[in-house]
Amino acid sequence: EDRGGGGGGAGGRRVGDYVLLRPIGSGAYSQVWLGKHVARGTEVAVKEIAMDRLSAKLRDSLLSEVDILRRITHPNIIALHDSIRDGGRIYLILEYCRGGDLYAYLLRHKRVPETVAKHFIRQLACGLQKLRESNVVHRDLKPQNILLVSNNGTSILKIADFGFAKFLQPSGLAETLCGSPLYMAPEVMQAQKYDAKADLWSVGIILYQLVTGSPPFNGDSQIQLMKNILKSGQLRFPSDCELSHDCIDLCRKLLRISSVERLTVEEFVNHPFLSEHAPERILSRTPSDTRDGFPFTKSSPTRLSGQSSQEDCMPFPLDLSTGQEESPAPESNAPMKSYGFATSKKLDKTSGQSPSKHTGLFSRYIMGNNYAPSSQRLDHPGQRTKESKIGEGRGAKGVHPEGTEVSCDFHIFLHNHCE
Annotated binding-site positions for ATP: 47
Within 10 angstroms of residue 321's Cβ, the number of other Cβ atoms is: 12
- Residue 293 falls in which region: left (phi positive, over 0), alpha (psi -120 to 50) or beta: left
Going by the DSSP 8-state scheme, the letter that residue 101 receives in this structure is B
- C-beta of residue 364 within 8 angstroms of C-beta of residue 124: no
Phi, psi of 166 (to 5 degrees): -145, 135
CA-nearest of 382, 390, 388 to 408 is 390
Told to judge if 101 belongs to the known catalytic residues of this protein, a careful annotator would answer no
In sequence order, the 6+-apart residues with CB closer than 8 A to the CB of 37 are 17, 18, 44, 294
Mode of pairing for the β-strands spanning 303-304 and 80-86: parallel
Angstrom distance (rounded) from CA 222 to CA 228: 10
Angstrom distance (rounded) from CA 167 to CA 65: 10
In sequence order, the 6+-apart residues with CB closer than 8 A to the CB of 87 are 2, 4
In sequence order, the 6+-apart residues with CB closer than 8 A to the CB of 382 are 25, 32, 45, 47, 94, 97, 101, 147, 160, 161, 362, 366
CA-nearest of 66, 200, 69 to 134 is 69
The annotated binding site is made up of 47
- C-beta of residue 354 within 8 angstroms of C-beta of residue 368: no
Coil vs helix vs strand at 9 = coil
Coil vs helix vs strand at 46 = strand
Catalytic pick among 67, 82, 86, 140: 140
CA-nearest of 406, 415, 389, 344 to 182 is 389
Going by the DSSP 8-state scheme, the letter that residue 269 receives in this structure is H
- Residues serving a catalytic function are 140
